[in-house]
């Protein structure tokens, strides 16, 4: 009897949502897979030029770990999915053509556990799998590519209220009506929820997290139209979606397979994001309150230490990080942070010992400060090797080139000093200083190989280079070409924009 009741419940639930067209939606025309890949590249360039992507490995690796767990549970896809965190306080998450999934730091900070994060990621993955945005783009193909990218940005990033910047993008590109046509429909949203929930259950998650985070987002709407979270502008039908999710959970709860354990890492990534990427005074007060309730809590000490570091309160930050490490003795990221704190407090030998013992290519900031500590202790040769390792593993780590240039100058390698400073300014898009240092490096080149290296970088300064594809290796035959972007270090990094190099390095 119970079996028949379960079947009846499922059939009733299915019939109810058939009216929304979500179980077997009509397949509209969409752009080709190749066209979607091309548009994906353009959109990534667009986003990177206008927003700060958090590159903190603890945060980014964790979000990708959760996203990859969901992807592993679904059929093979034509795209390689990547997951990014944008440093923006506004509540938003969106998927672009080609499998790039973005979540704003503000929305991540509002979450309480991995279930909520998985719920949002599963929904956005479903948008890509269903090719919702690519179907709408197909209807706008007469618009030029540059304009189309702007319109997609306006549709996904928000068209009002909290999305004022996105509104400006859209209005300056084309009429707002085009962006409205590209935005997700009510049917798109409910279909993405239905399919996303299937992905989540296959991956061992429940749908409760998505419902909970939608309620959190919805609660913000009562602050007035100017404060409506961007997510509600770009993802309509929130009330219908919550009703759908509530019904889905009610009818499937007893039929669901047992949930698998979470990947782990939410507390660490979430604590780090709140401590380093939200308002510093609010973050400090938040962790202070947590410590007042539980003084020995490792995560509370960890978050408080990180927030204190943003106020340059290094002795206190060191003390609380040490307490955090007592409960996480083998955690490499905590040890790396402690080493950075030692450097900032002038304890260079302790910094070297701590950063060397926990050295990892995964944490470039730690390598940067290991090299800087070695410089402070007059170990320039060791520092040069450290900085070389850093740029080998992280080619777009801008600050490393500055210190590699300084170290080369101290060791009397004037070609290396000017060459690496040229690369530093090139990545900073300071053409004047890049041109000066690279031309000086060319005159100081001792071998044909060094001449080729300097010439290769000088070619990137030519006006025509701006029109070329930065990812095309044929533009730079002598070495792998860098994408001209600036890697954003964590807020712990302190690097001067301008330094009187001649006085520090004896460069002529």
Give the DSSP per-residue string, 314-331: HHHHHHHHHHHHHT-TT-
Radius of gyration of the chain (CA): 25
- pLDDT at 137 exceeding the cut of 90: no
259 confidence band (pLDDT: 50, 70, 90) = low
- Work out the angle between the directed axes of helices 208-219 and 238-252 (0-180°, nearest 10): 150
The more confident residue out of 74 and 24 is 74
Q: Which helix (H) or strand (E) holds 84?
A: strand 82-86
The more confident residue out of 316 and 190 is 316
Mean pLDDT of 50-76: 94
pLDDT above 70: percentage of residues in the chain:
66
Rounded to whole angstroms, the maximal C-alpha distance in the chain is 90
Least confident of 70-84, 283-297, 371-385: 70-84
CA pair distance 507, 498, nearest whole angstrom: 15
Mean pLDDT of 12-40: 54
Question: What does the angle CA 109 – CA 113 – CA 117 come to, to the nearest 5 degrees?
Answer: 70
pLDDT on residue 49: 85
Strand (E) positions, 288-390?
none
pLDDT above 90: percentage of residues in the chain:
50
């Amino acid at each position: 009897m119970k079996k028949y009741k379960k079947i009846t419940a499922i059939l009733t639930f299915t019939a109810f949502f058939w009216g929304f067209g979500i179980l077997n939606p009509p397949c509209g025309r969409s752009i080709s897979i190749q066209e979607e890949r091309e548009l994906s590249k353009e959109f990534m360039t667009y986003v990177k030029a206008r927003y700060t992507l958090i590159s903190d490995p603890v945060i980014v690796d964790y979000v990708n770990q959760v996203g990859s767990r969901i992807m592993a549970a679904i059929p093979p896809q034509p795209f390689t999915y990547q997951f990014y965190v944008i440093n923006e306080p506004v509540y938003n998450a969106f998927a672009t053509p080609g499998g790039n999934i973005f979540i704003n730091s503000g929305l991540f900070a509002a979450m309480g556990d991995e279930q909520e994060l998985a719920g949002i990621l599963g929904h956005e993955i479903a948008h890509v799998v269903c090719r919702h945005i690519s179907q709408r783009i197909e209807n706008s193909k007469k618009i030029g590519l540059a304009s189309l990218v702007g319109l997609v940005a306006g549709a996904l990033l928000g068209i009002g209220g909290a999305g004022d910047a996105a509104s400006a993008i859209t209005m300056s590109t084309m009429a707002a009506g085009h962006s409205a046509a590209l935005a997700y429909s009510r049917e798109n949203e409910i279909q993405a929820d239905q399919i996303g929930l299937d992905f989540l259950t296959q991956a061992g998650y429940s749908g409760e997290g998505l419902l909970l985070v939608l309620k959190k987002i919805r609660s913000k709407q009562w602050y007035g139209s100017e404060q409506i979270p961007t997510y509600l502008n770009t993802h309509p039908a929130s009330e219908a979606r919550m009703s759908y999710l509530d019904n889905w959970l009610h009818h499937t709860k007893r039929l669901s397979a047992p949930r698998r354990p979470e990947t782990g890492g939410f507390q660490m990534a979430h604590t780090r994001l709140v401590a380093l990427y939200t308002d510093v005074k609010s973050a400090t007060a938040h962790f202070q309150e947590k410590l007042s309730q539980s003084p020995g809590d490792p995560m509370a000490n960890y978050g408080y230490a990180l927030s204190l570091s943003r106020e340059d309160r290094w002795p206190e930050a060191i003390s609380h990080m040490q307490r955090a490490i007592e409960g996480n003795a083998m955690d490499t990221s905590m040890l790396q942070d402690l080493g950075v704190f030692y450097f900032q407090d002038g304890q260079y030998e302790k910094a070297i010992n701590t950063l060397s013992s926990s050295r990892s290519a995964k944490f470039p900031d730690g390598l940067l400060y290991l090299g800087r500590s070695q410089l402070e202790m007059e170990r320039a040769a060791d520092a040069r090797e450290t900085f070389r390792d850093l740029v080998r593993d992280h080619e777009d780590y801008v600050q490393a080139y500055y210190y590699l240039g300084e170290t080369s100058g101290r060791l009397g390698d004037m070609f290396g000093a000017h060459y690496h400073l040229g690369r530093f300014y090139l990545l900073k898009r300071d053409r004047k200083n890049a041109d000066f240092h690279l031309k000086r490096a060319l005159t100081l080149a001792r071998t044909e190989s060094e001449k080729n290296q300097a010439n290769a970088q000088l070619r990137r300064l030519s006006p025509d280079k701006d029109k070329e594809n930065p990812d095309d290796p044929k533009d730079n035959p002598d070495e792998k070409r860098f994408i001209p972007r600036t890697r954003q270090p964590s807020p712990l990094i302190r690097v001067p924009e301008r330094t009187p190099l001649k006085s520090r390095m004896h460069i002529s």
